[in-house]
Amino acid sequence: MAEGGGGSIVNLTTVEAHRAIPGHAVYSAYKAALTQFTRSLAAEVGPDGIRVNAIAPDLIDSVQVPYDRLVPERDRALWPTWSPLGGPGRPEDVAGVAVFLASDLARFVTGGTIHVDGGTHSSGGWVPRHSGGWTNRPRHP
């Protein structure tokens, strides 16, 4: 990449790298390490014209992670209270950010992480629900 005059690396992490998630400590730690790797690599290869960024999605309704398999039926009606933009994301939401980061429009963007999460990262972390399980909206248990 350096010999070709530079380029762009886009890593895929998760919003869970930036907040605690009960029952998924290893996953969260791995993705947090990838986020820090993104920052460090950006500093290391930036002088070679290589940009390194990350995308941190929350729930994206996809073939690999279907919404109806990941979110229990009892919780599906609560999703609009969990996400300021309501509902899960779609694959094209992540793809659009990846295209931007790989393009010349992001020529001065490196070492960053863009959250594609409908605002869930901004709106809180996970807390126990009175009825069991977890929520990121404590006023809507």
Q: What is the pLDDT of residues 67-126, one digit of tens each?
A: 788 788 887 777 777 777 877 899 999 999 999 999 999 999 999 999 999 888 887 766
Separation CA 58–CA 78 (nearest Å): 15
Domains of the chain: 7-122 (3.40.50.720)
67 is catalytic: no
Give residue 51's Cα distance to chain centre. Answer: 18
Q: Hey, which residues does 135 pair with through a beta bridge?
A: 127
Annotated catalytic residue, options 12, 20, 27, 70 = 27
Higher pLDDT, 135 or 116: 116
Smallest CA-to-CA distance from 83 within 109, 54, 59, 49 is with 59
Q: Tokens 């809180």 map to which residue?
A: 124
Query: What average pLDDT does the structure give for the chain?
Result: 88
In this structure, the number of other CB atoms found within 10 A of the CB of residue 105 comes to: 10
CB 35, CB 16: distance < 8 Å: no
